Structure 1
Amino acid sequence: MEYILHKKSNCKRIKIRVIEGVVCVSAPFTVSKKIIDDFVQEQEAWIKNQLDKNTQSKENDLICLLGNEYRLHYINQKMCYVAGNALYLYPDKTLIQKFLKQNAKKYIDLRFEFFCEQLNIHNISLQYGFYKSKWGSCTPSKHKICFNVNLIFMPLEFVDAIILHELAHLFHFNHSKDFYNLLCTWMPNYKEIVKENKKKQLPKLY
């Protein structure tokens, strides 16, 4: 496997990172090339998994948006839209993010309103962003909940699970036993849904 090697005096052990599809290895000056090669080979499965996450989506790939599959097409017109079973995107990060946010917000707002009505919860403001390590967050003191726009790529039952997860934080701030008892009262199969979708890879559209 090809990789870029950086030997550093302040490096105490071999480290591997995948940055924008490139495998970067850092190692101490005293470590031989053979030992580094063997270490990289041992981590091959992990590296391939990271590389898959960084693979750019291609023409005609199937992309799932809010539970529906669309055939991806990149176009020259400065617009992003869905027509029939096709997803048309102009390859511009800002434009694509705007399209994803508008459509994610439209759906999640409705589901959030539905659950709030069912649970008698009021006066919560919503925000949306693109996050790498969280699906959502809740700040009870500010009556604010944030959702990750990338939820648009996930199954609808998973979106519901995340909405309920953040709503449960209005009653229990941490992930205590009481928190999960409440959450599983609202959605008995919550843990199964999260476990099933935990390793789902998101498409890279830009």
Structure 2
Amino acid sequence: MIAERTIKQCKKYPLTYTLVIKQVKNINMRIAHNGEVIVSANPFVPMEKIDEFVSQKAAWILAHQKQMEQRQGYCEMNEHQLMLFGNSLRIKTSVAKYNHVSYDKTTLYVQHKEGADVERVIRRFLDKLCKDVFLDVAQLTHRTLKEYQLEFPQIKLRDMKSRWGTCTPAKNQITLNKRLIHYPFEFIEYVVLHEFVHFIQPNHSKAFYHVIENYMPDYKQRMELINH
């Protein structure tokens, strides 16, 4: 049985959380690797009680999210290493006549002009890589869902603190978090499918996850790729 998931806005504080309705004894809360607040409760708990539970922990949530963001920023890239598709690559730099970045299984090779900002060179490379990879995954996902005859959406990329992606059906638009490029490719595929399915099922209902499972039977395992 797939738990029902919905996005809720805390009434007292500017906090968004994912509410999971399932058979649990108490109200439980955890913060996922991406900073998402996930609250689980059984179907008989009043919404007011759940919202009050989240409100009481607001200060702790914000502090914990800030700590996670700082740790993730260090983990994803620093002057010595870069996480790319879930793999830790050693950064090797060299001065050249032009800026160029390439990589293999263990190393990110950064050629840069004399005096160039190496981090900016890497960021520009990552931006282009995100655009190419995410668009390819989106096109493949669109073809996979061809029976629904969806119009191909506009794909936007930006840095987001608490979401891996968002879907705006009214604008036929999907926005993906550029930080996804640091995580396993299988997880990127899941996030893209997740957002596409919102054009079919607008909320996180059982029907929503039924569509996802139909096209990606191992989606739960892919979700766990960033939680260990």
Q: TM-score range by the shorter chain?
A: 0.5 to 0.7
Query: Residue 75 of structure 1 contacts residue 91 of structure 1 at CA under 8 Å; is this kept in 2?
Result: no
2:101 match: 81
1:100 match: 126
86-95 or 142-151: which moved more? 86-95
Distance 2:71 2:197 in 1: 33
* Greater Cα radius of gyration, structure 1 or 2: 1
Deviation at 1:50, TM superposition (A): 6.5
Of the three residues 126, 145, 157, the one matched with 2:186 is: 157
Of the three residues 107, 130, 140, the one matched with 1:114 is: 140
2:89 match: 70
Deviation at 1:88, TM superposition (A): 3.6
Query: Residue 74 of structure 1 contacts residue 91 of structure 1 at CA under 8 Å; is this kept in 2?
Result: no
Q: For residues 22-78 of structure 1, give each alpha carbon's deviation from its aligned partner in whole angstroms, at most 9, with x where no partner exists.
A: xxxxxxxxxxxxxxxxxxxxxxx999866643536242x3x3423665321345667
1:142 match: 171
State the percentage of identical aligned residues. 26
Distance 2:179 2:89 in 1: 16
2:208 match: 179
TM-score normalized with structure 2 length: 0.57
Structure 2: gaps spanning 5 or more residues:
1-63, 111-115
AA of the residue aligned to 1:154: Y
Structure 1: gaps spanning 5 or more residues:
1-44, 200-206
Distance 1:168 1:184 in 2: 11
Query: Residue 70 of structure 1 contacts residue 87 of structure 1 at CA under 8 Å; is this kept in 2?
Result: yes
Q: 1:143 to 1:81 in 2, by over 3 A?
A: same
1:131 match: 160
Query: Residue 187 of structure 2 contacts residue 225 of structure 2 at CA under 8 Å; is this kept in 1?
Result: no
